Structure 1
Amino acid sequence: MRETEVVVVGGGPTGMTVAGDLARAGRSVVLLERWPRRHPGSRAFATMPRTLEVLDSRLADGPAGGRSVTDALLEHGTTVPRVNLWPGAAVRLGDLDSPHPYVLVAPQTVVDELLEQRARAEGVTVVRGSEVVGLVQDADGVTVTTAGDTSWRAPYVVAADGAHSTVRRLLGADFPGREVLSSVVLADVRLAHPPATEGLTLGTTPEVFGFLAPYGDGRYRSMTWDRRRQLPDDAPVEDDDVAGVLDRAMGRPVGAHDISGRSRFHCEERQVTRYRHARVFLAGDAAHVHSPMGGQGMNTGIQDAANLAWKLDAALAGADDSVLESYHAERHPIGRRVLRQSGAMMRAVTLHPRPARALRNAVSGRLLAWRPFGDLVAGSFSGVGLRYGRRRGDHPLVGTNAATIPLATGTVAARQRHGGFLVIRETDRRDTGPAVLVRPDGYVAWAGSSADGDDGRRRALAAWSGPAATPAHDLTPDVTPDERTTR
């Protein structure tokens, strides 16, 4: 039997992110992926602003690299500052309080490649062609068996093996929900007559919808659906399922041609009741699946991974079990919200009665044009408005996103590229904000005044990291080691 500290099952964006983060923290990690080679298909195509912030604090080439994963991604895609919905309605991202106020459109295959490259550079052992067939856990750890009778033993396992998760089945975990949309078609196309408006473009009629996302090189990712042509997932995708439906949805000929990467799929809304099962943790599509509307799937999974990895590292260093419990407490509500948001958008797009569609267009357009509401929707859609709960007595900033704290030198993301907690004092800031302790996933763990001493910050660090916590990175250059407060 082979031993490691964490076994990650599944080599998609979620699995590669959690594995890479753990290896960056110095943990031994084995990632098991049943596909012998990286999957050539690409369903996701939109990397949201909050995910770009997360990936900006990770080095694409491991410890010796100089560029972040986001830097590398930006070389392979195009940025769009708005999402055009039905007539008169658009989600505007350009005014977001984020270093990345846009959606990056790039094939998921690019994200997959960069995250695997980063995980390997950090020291993850990636075992491809390794299908999990058995899982047994006890008080001390988990034994994972793969086809061919190879066994791995670890204190913790992360299941990031997708919507049809083998680990979830072996656990006997429930996955309640239902199918909500069938016969959705994905393809890559070129257009003779592209949309005149900038950004992601959605067109709808009572019978069809069509969605276009520009790659920036003359190609577009298209998503189409025809109410009157509901076929099984394995039915061939004809030219008219793409080109014809796009023309009808956009209300004019767009001339889709050079159609490639065709696939047909259905979507469901499901979420496990518990993200944690003793020493096994579910993340990404293994924990939640939903409508493709809003492009949230890959993004939510990467953010699950960022939340979970540092907590597993802390637990391995002796932190209280409540740190691991906080993974479910923080991420399950976010997954539920994504299900509801993407479901509401899907139902709005596929409305059939014409009076209901007219009302949708009139009301949503006015609401989104009203700045307070439009900004709220953009913050939720992009993920930058996400915050985690705080306890009574905590500073109001606790649980908020720290990505936009203006530092005197550099950025929060750049300062966190080697992992760990980050101490930012008042003198490190360009504004008048308080001192803060930033968690490894980029959220505020503590905020207060440096003049009150370091006790509050140290207590917050100890609560999250346990007695074996190593010093946090402190931006103030003249702070002595015993004043510093983790990996």
Structure 2
Amino acid sequence: METDVLVIGAGPTGLMLAAELGLAGVRARVLERRAETSNLTRAFAVHARTLELLDARGLADQLLPRGIPVREIAPAPGATVDLGELDTRFPMILIAPQSGTERILERRVDELGVPIVRGAEVTGLRQDADRVVVDLADGSEESASWVVGCDGAHSAIRGLVDVPFTGAEYETHILLADVRLTDPPAEAMFAETGPSGAVIVVPFGDGWFRAIAWDREREQVPLDVPLPMDEMRDAFRRIAGTDFGMSEQRWSTRFLSERRQAARYRVGRVLLAGDAAHVHSPLGGQGMNTGIGDAMNLGWKLASAVRGTAPPWLVDTYATERHRVGAQVLALTDTFNNLVLGYSPVRQFLQRQAVRLIVRAGPARRLIVGRLSGIGISYPGGHGTHPWTGRRAPDVACGPQRLYEVLRDGRFVLVDATVAGALAGEIDASLPVTTVRARPTPQRPDAMLVRPDGYVAWAGDDESDIAARLRHGVARWCLGPARVG
């Protein structure tokens, strides 16, 4: 069977990418090493920007009932931030098990007709200017125009294209256990720190809880040593003063956290995304969110390349845009890790005092919350572009619909808030651009060309040459003739 794109890995990143490719009509296949669907949940936090991206494909409202909203966060002990400040439909962190998110994405992939092949382990890879061939453990091979490694921190694809994964390991192991609690905390997401480390409790919503501990007194225990419930109870009692009545444990493990990033996200026709491209401390809950952001950024660009409508530079913008975001996430999560688990009490004290002061200042607080939630992520617009170029597009009202509802077919959207409202006539009908009207407001440009992933590709204000500048912007991004009106 002819395949345009092979997606290696059926975690959240791979599934989101496969769904984007399927939406665009690309012939894609997902190869997953595991023979069975994993029931292991690592990620819980779904941040505001990820919910917006899911909303742009009609999936957020399916996930919301599966989770518990958290509307305040504490970036450091004693420093609380209200997420209600976020200008979004989703001013929250949604606590939803990764397994639930994966089920929604897998259903979407199935609806779009993208096959998932399980038990397919990649053992070799070779590529030329036109195709990539991967060898599988069973002796067979598959080929495609492009291959995307979404196969996790120990990515086989990253190793096969010889991309360095630079960084380091954190010293304190993470203890994970699924437990029942007879006296659970009142908070949707409980967290506590102490001289011995930190603990977190997250509800599954079905009577089970994920207990997480960074226990310095047990950090040298080898990862393959079983983790009994008594050890987790002891860590919670020393760090939080209570074990919340842990009464039953169905699963547990020790986990080594790392901070690493792939040196490159593209090698020829092979790309890396998700944990294959970046891993970091789980504090801040950024892993799955960053991977879904990778997939949304890459999907429409790769689809355009497959169709032959991509400008020569378009796929490379995935690597430049998302490598920068990955580096920012590593810096953010490393800061959180030092705040919570740093070994210098003096440095910890000074850092926490600094964070408390920062969250009291509006601009600095908004910067932190924007980075954590993903709402503040933007891409460089380039010299001479409008200040809004590369920014997240707000979910503006466009007649009877919201912008993120209009985005659901995966096309560009031109938001026209000019007085004349005649910009639709400047775009050739054959191009993948939907035009909608919006009310003008001083807070945003009079016209925005919004990419399929919800970022502004081009923006302009209502001046005499706006039509000509729009035609230039459309021609640059959509690689097609823009009709002169």
Normalised by the length of structure 1, the TM-score is 0.89
Give yes or no for contact 1:212–1:222 (8 Å, CA) kept in 2. Answer: yes
Give yes or no for contact 2:198–2:213 (8 Å, CA) kept in 1. Answer: yes
Question: How big is the shift at 1:33?
Answer: 0.6
Number of positions where the alignment pairs a residue of Structure 1 with one of Structure 2: 461
- In the other structure, the counterpart of 2:280 is 290
Are positions 1:342 and 2:333 aligned together? yes
CA distance 1:15–1:483, shift in 2 (3 Å): farther
Give yes or no for contact 1:16–1:116 (8 Å, CA) kept in 2. Answer: yes
Question: How big is the shift at 1:465?
Answer: 3.0
Give yes or no for contact 2:192–2:240 (8 Å, CA) kept in 1. Answer: yes
- In the other structure, the counterpart of 1:63 is none
Question: How big is the shift at 1:360?
Answer: 3.7
Question: How big is the shift at 1:85?
Answer: 4.9
1:448 counterpart (448, 460, 484): 460
Give yes or no for contact 1:84–1:199 (8 Å, CA) kept in 2. Answer: no
Question: How big is the shift at 1:259?
Answer: 3.2
- In the other structure, the counterpart of 1:207 is 196
AA paired with 2:366?
D
Give yes or no for contact 2:76–2:355 (8 Å, CA) kept in 1. Answer: no
1:238 counterpart (222, 228, 243): 228
Structure 2: distance between partners of 1:95 and 1:191: 33
Are positions 1:389 and 2:408 aligned together? no
Deviation string, structure 1 residues 225-271 (Cα, Å, up to 9, x no partner): 11111222222112133232223222445333333332210011111
- In the other structure, the counterpart of 2:215 is 226
Structure 1 range deviating more: 126-135 or 254-263: 254-263
AA paired with 1:345?
F
| SS of alignment partner, residue 100 of structure 1 | coil
CA distance 1:223–1:91, shift in 2 (3 Å): farther
2:357 counterpart (362, 366, 383): 366
1:429 counterpart (430, 438, 441): 438
> In the TM superposition, what are the counterparts of 1:50-449 in structure 2 within 5 Å?
50-58=49-57, 68-196=58-186, 198-216=187-205, 219-230=208-219, 231-252=221-242, 254-318=244-308, 319-426=310-417, 428-432=437-441, 433=444, 434-449=446-461
| SS of alignment partner, residue 285 of structure 1 | helix
Deviation string, structure 1 residues 105-133 (Cα, Å, up to 9, x no partner): 11111111111111111121211111111
Deviation string, structure 1 residues 368-393 (Cα, Å, up to 9, x no partner): 23332222111100100011001122
Deviation string, structure 1 residues 423-459 (Cα, Å, up to 9, x no partner): 1110622442411110011000111146645432332
| SS of alignment partner, residue 51 of structure 2 | helix
Structure 1 range deviating more: 243-252 or 14-23: 243-252
Give yes or no for contact 1:35–1:129 (8 Å, CA) kept in 2. Answer: yes
Structure 2: distance between partners of 1:419 and 1:288: 26
| SS of alignment partner, residue 129 of structure 2 | coil
Question: How big is the shift at 1:138?
Answer: 0.2
CA distance 1:483–1:191, shift in 2 (3 Å): farther
- In the other structure, the counterpart of 2:14 is 15
Structure 2: distance between partners of 1:388 and 1:322: 15
Instruction: Give the RMSD, CA atoms, in angstroms.
Output: 2.1
AA paired with 1:205?
G
Give yes or no for contact 2:33–2:122 (8 Å, CA) kept in 1. Answer: yes
Structure 1: distance between partners of 2:218 and 2:305: 51
Structure 2: distance between partners of 1:23 and 1:320: 21
Structure 2: distance between partners of 1:218 and 1:129: 32
Give yes or no for contact 1:189–1:220 (8 Å, CA) kept in 2. Answer: yes
Question: How big is the shift at 1:277?
Answer: 0.4
| SS of alignment partner, residue 217 of structure 2 | coil
AA paired with 1:464?
W
Structure 2, unaligned runs of 5 or more: 422-436
AA paired with 2:131?
G
Structure 2: distance between partners of 1:370 and 1:222: 33
Question: How big is the shift at 1:3?
Answer: 2.4
- In the other structure, the counterpart of 1:465 is 478
- In the other structure, the counterpart of 2:427 is none
| SS of alignment partner, residue 202 of structure 1 | strand
AA paired with 1:326?
T
AA paired with 1:15?
G
CA distance 1:411–1:257, shift in 2 (3 Å): farther
Give yes or no for contact 2:183–2:245 (8 Å, CA) kept in 1. Answer: yes
Structure 2: distance between partners of 1:378 and 1:329: 23
Give yes or no for contact 2:53–2:296 (8 Å, CA) kept in 1. Answer: yes
AA paired with 2:157?
V
Question: How big is the shift at 1:411?
Answer: 1.5
CA distance 1:424–1:236, shift in 2 (3 Å): same
| SS of alignment partner, residue 113 of structure 1 | helix
Give yes or no for contact 1:224–1:241 (8 Å, CA) kept in 2. Answer: no
Give yes or no for contact 1:83–1:199 (8 Å, CA) kept in 2. Answer: no
AA paired with 1:311?
K
Question: How big is the shift at 1:4?
Answer: 0.8
CA distance 1:147–1:455, shift in 2 (3 Å): farther
AA paired with 1:52?
L
Question: How big is the shift at 1:87?
Answer: 3.4
Structure 1, unaligned runs of 5 or more: 59-67, 472-481
Structure 2: distance between partners of 1:354 and 1:344: 15
- In the other structure, the counterpart of 2:41 is 42
Structure 2: distance between partners of 1:190 and 1:409: 46
Deviation string, structure 1 residues 15-64 (Cα, Å, up to 9, x no partner): 11111101100111011111112111111111111111111111xxxxxx
Question: How big is the shift at 1:212?
Answer: 2.3
Runs of 4+ in 1 over 6 A off after TM superposition: none
